Amino acid sequence: MSLPEVHLAGGTCAEALRLVPVALAMREQGLVNPVLLAAGPDPTAVARTYIACGLAADVTLPAATDLGAAIRRYDQLWAARTPAAVLVRGDNLGAALAAYWRRVPVMHMDPGRRSGSLVADDADANRRLLAQVATVHLAAAPLAAMNLLDERVVAGDVLLTGGTTIEAARLMASRPRRASRTRRASQRTAESRPTGPQADARATGPQADARAAGPQADARAAGPRAAETWAAETWAAQMRASESTAGGPTTDGATTDGPARGGSMAGRPMAGGAMVGRPMAGETPAGEARANRVIVAGVSAAFDEPVREAMLAIAAAQHDIDVIGGLSMPYPERSRLVAMADIVVTDDVDLAEEALAAGTAVLVPGDGGGLTEAIHAGSARQVDAEAGEIVAAATELLASRVRRDSMGIYGSPYGDGMAAARIAQATAALLGHGQFPDPMPARPEAGLPR
């Protein structure tokens, strides 16, 4: 007898990262058959995130750039292959609506999160609409569950499971570094490569020159952080040129993060993965090794200017600081970067959750509405969205390891490391296999050890 299929719909890389622990827990329990879907605007990136976590997408849908296209993609799949249940996370409204209209039960991970802002928010609206079609609401934190109850969601349909970010962080930490494997494979290839006239002929010519030319080729050959290094050097060179012509640093459009990268901060270096005018950790002009301190920054457009100004000021005042953009960085590099960072400055909920899971101190510019639980717990600190305030708060944390660690010991309020097992058990219980799990205890354990 075949197990009932449960489709896990990943529409973004952040969703894919958090769905993988659930798929592993479902396989371990052996009550349902998890099917990983790679969908959304960039399904290839979603599929790569699954691979970075050690799994592969079972189904990759064509790209969908809007809600209507997303609904059609899912509906076409489920018309031919109808699952017993669908698991969605966050604001993946397209998958939820397609499943609802197919009369397929919808399990909603991380529901009830509200920005608290009076300004229109597409993600907030999608979450509220999704709450109307979900069958079971798997809340990540007590406040999220209370929001659902305030919106008249039936109490029996809400289960406090916690979020799976901690499990995802542990999974990433346990994965071997892809770069080290790549270097070993390159060394074996170099050792086995033939020598002599034929090898010289294959290694020369216009095609070989085209393959080897350009900064991207240099970046690929330089090591695991080569892409970021190349982007940083490109931007730093432009900044030095601006200083020589204008007599000082500039923050105009000339400061980009390289032609091969883009970012959420209008193409500026912080959001694209490049540093703000400093060498990468472990590099100095003289080639001497050193361990630079790292700030990861990734904010929405509303806080672009003050955060960028603050990061430039910090990088100019302290030469051992690397400021690196984290929003557009792929996994697993983003997870490793967040884990090694001293501070993360962000108002992005997903990036903040990953930092909290790794025990990294988080500064939240603005009102911090989307991270209320973390701010109240003390694991994140809210700061006014002004450059001076951000500089003061970041400098205080950088100067004291005790202050940073004291924030990390509070752990993440969005999970306790057992959420994936609860979600898998709840999904099986909905389909008639076993009982629903007990809710997450009110006090989660601390995050990952540093």
Q: Which two tokens stand for residue 346?
A: 């962000």
In this structure, are 160 and 242 located in the same domain?
no
List phi, psi (to 5°) of 216: -65, -40
Residue-wise pLDDT tens digits, 391-443? 999 999 999 999 999 898 888 899 999 999 999 999 999 999 999 999 998 76
**Does a structural domain hold residue 443?**
no
Q: At what angle do helices 401-408 and 387-399 cross, to 10 degrees?
A: 100
Least confident of 62-71, 83-92, 144-153, 363-372: 363-372
**Does a structural domain hold residue 254?**
yes
Structure letter (DSSP) for residue 133: H
Q: Which residues are within 8 A (CB) of 140 and not within 5 positions of it... i.e. 6 or more apart?
A: 109, 110, 113, 161, 162, 163, 414, 415, 419
In this structure, are 292 and 370 located in the same domain?
yes
**Does a structural domain hold residue 437?**
no
CATH number, domain of 258, equals 3.40.50.2000
Q: Regarding predicted confidence, which is higher, 227 or 410?
A: 410
Rounded CA separation 242/251 (Å): 9
Structure letter (DSSP) for residue 291: -
CB–CB of 6/84 below 8 Å? yes
In this structure, are 316 and 374 located in the same domain?
yes
Q: Regarding predicted confidence, which is higher, 196 or 310?
A: 310
**pLDDT for the residue numbered 124:** 84
Confidence of residue 219 (pLDDT cuts 50, 70, 90): very low
In this structure, are 232 and 140 located in the same domain?
no
In this structure, are 273 and 326 located in the same domain?
yes
Rounded CA separation 167/193 (Å): 41
**CB-facing half-sphere around the CA of 226: CA atoms within 13 A:** 12
Q: Quick check: 10 pLDDT over 60?
A: yes
Q: Which residues are within 8 A (CB) of 383 and not within 5 positions of it... i.e. 6 or more apart?
A: 363, 364, 365, 389, 390, 393
Residue-wise pLDDT tens digits, 165-175? 999 999 998 88
In this structure, are 371 and 270 located in the same domain?
yes
Q: Which two tokens stand for residue 342?
A: 């001293």
Residue-wise pLDDT tens digits, 174-189? 887 654 444 455 455 4
Rounded CA separation 85/443 (Å): 30
Please give the residue range of the domain that contains residue 326.
224-408
**Does a structural domain hold residue 449?**
no
CB–CB of 47/56 below 8 Å? yes
**Does a structural domain hold residue 294?**
yes
pTM given for the model: 0.76
Rounded mean pLDDT, 259-269: 33
**Does a structural domain hold residue 330?**
yes
List phi, psi (to 5°) of 131: -65, -20
Would you tell me how many other CB atoms lie within 10 Å of the CB of residue 69?
15
In this structure, are 249 and 370 located in the same domain?
yes
Confidence of residue 13 (pLDDT cuts 50, 70, 90): very high
In this structure, are 426 and 356 located in the same domain?
no
In this structure, are 29 and 82 located in the same domain?
yes
Rounded mean pLDDT, 67-94: 96
Beta bridge pairs of residue 275: 324
- What is the share, in percent, of the chain residues with pLDDT greater than 70? 72
Residue-wise pLDDT tens digits, 276-308? 333 333 344 444 444 688 999 999 888 999 999
Q: In what order do the strands lie in the sheet with 136-139?
A: 59-60, 33-38, 5-10, 85-89, 106-109, 136-139, 158-160
List phi, psi (to 5°) of 283: -125, 145
Looking up tokens 């630079």 gives: 292
Rounded CA separation 61/66 (Å): 14
- Residue ranges of the alpha helices (H) in 247-276? 269-272
In this structure, are 383 and 424 located in the same domain?
no
Rounded CA separation 344/351 (Å): 8
Least confident of 64-78, 153-167, 206-220, 436-450: 206-220
In this structure, are 342 and 421 located in the same domain?
no
Which of 397, 369, 399 lies closest to 382 in space, CA to CA?
369
List phi, psi (to 5°) of 18: -85, -15
**Does a structural domain hold residue 439?**
no
Asked whether the CA dihedral 358, 177, 283, 229 is positive or negative, the reply is negative
**pLDDT for the residue numbered 370:** 83
Into how many domains does the chain fold? 2
In this structure, are 361 and 234 located in the same domain?
yes
**Does a structural domain hold residue 71?**
yes
